[in-house]
Amino acid sequence: MAILVDPATWPGRGRLWCHLVSDTSFDELHAFAQACGIPERAFERDHYDVPAERRAEVVAAGAVEVRSRELVQRLTDAGLRRPKHRPAGRARHR
């Protein structure tokens, strides 16, 4: 029902990044990303990594701004969360 974007607070490769997800389907997410010109290589498991300088563009295209915690919760509630593999014996932090 919505494309969501969190704040650009994630550092990497000398920039800040935000995450773009759908709380409906991967098809919706991929179509939105393609329409915004976000390359397929930016997709990682369940989200697109979007550089901070492109965040306003995805918001203008219709992405809903949410906090990171809400983004993860809505992704999880939709059954679309694909977390990184955790080694056996490692505790999850909540």
Give the domain ranges of the chain: 3-77
Q: Which of 42, 50, 62, 52 is nearest to 16 (CA)?
A: 52
Residue range 60-88, pLDDT digits in tens: 999 999 999 999 999 999 989 998 765 55
pLDDT at 93 over 60: no
Nearest-angstrom CA–CA distance, 21 and 35: 14
pLDDT tens-place string over residues 52-61: 999 999 999 9
Q: What's the predicted TM-score (pTM) here? A: 0.85
pLDDT tens-digit series, residues 8-45? 999 999 999 999 999 999 999 999 999 999 999 999 99
- pLDDT at position 84 is 77
Distance set, CA 75 to CA 2, 68, 82, 88, 90 (Å) = 11, 11, 9, 24, 23
